[in-house]
Amino acid sequence: MDSLALLQQWYLQQCDDDWEHTYGVRIDTLDNPGWNLEIDLTGTRLEGKPFDPVHYGMFNEAETSGHEWIFCKVEDNRFSAGGGPLKLSEIINVFLHWAGVAA
């Protein structure tokens, strides 16, 4: 399965006729350009699970071409991530790896 299919499967597993009415997964674009991924963790087995932030490229432009960056963090029961315009799969894979979902 590809990363998007695995994320869809993870989302479906959270849906219990309650969780999906308040929480969910949001994928959006950024204007710099890039991607933003927000995943609510409240009520999932990932709530409270430690996560070491992942980031590169956005803090040291000398390391990147300008589009080669990602950041991922967990804060307030939410996985928040962003990345350059070709990094959506990579940031989804960071989440899936942390969530213990085989990729």
Task: Give the domain ranges of the chain.
Answer: 3-99
Give percent above pLDDT 70 in the chain.
91
Model pLDDT, residue 32 = 85
Phi, psi (rounded to 5 degrees) for 79: -85, 120
Contact (CB, 8 A) for 90 and 70: yes
* Residue 40 CB partners (closer than 8 Å, separation 6+): 22, 23, 24, 25, 77, 78
- 62, pLDDT greater than 70: no
Tens-place pLDDT, residues 27-61 = 999 988 999 999 999 999 999 999 999 999 865 55
Distance (Å, whole) CA 82 – CA 75? 14
In a 3-state reduction of DSSP, which class is residue 4? helix
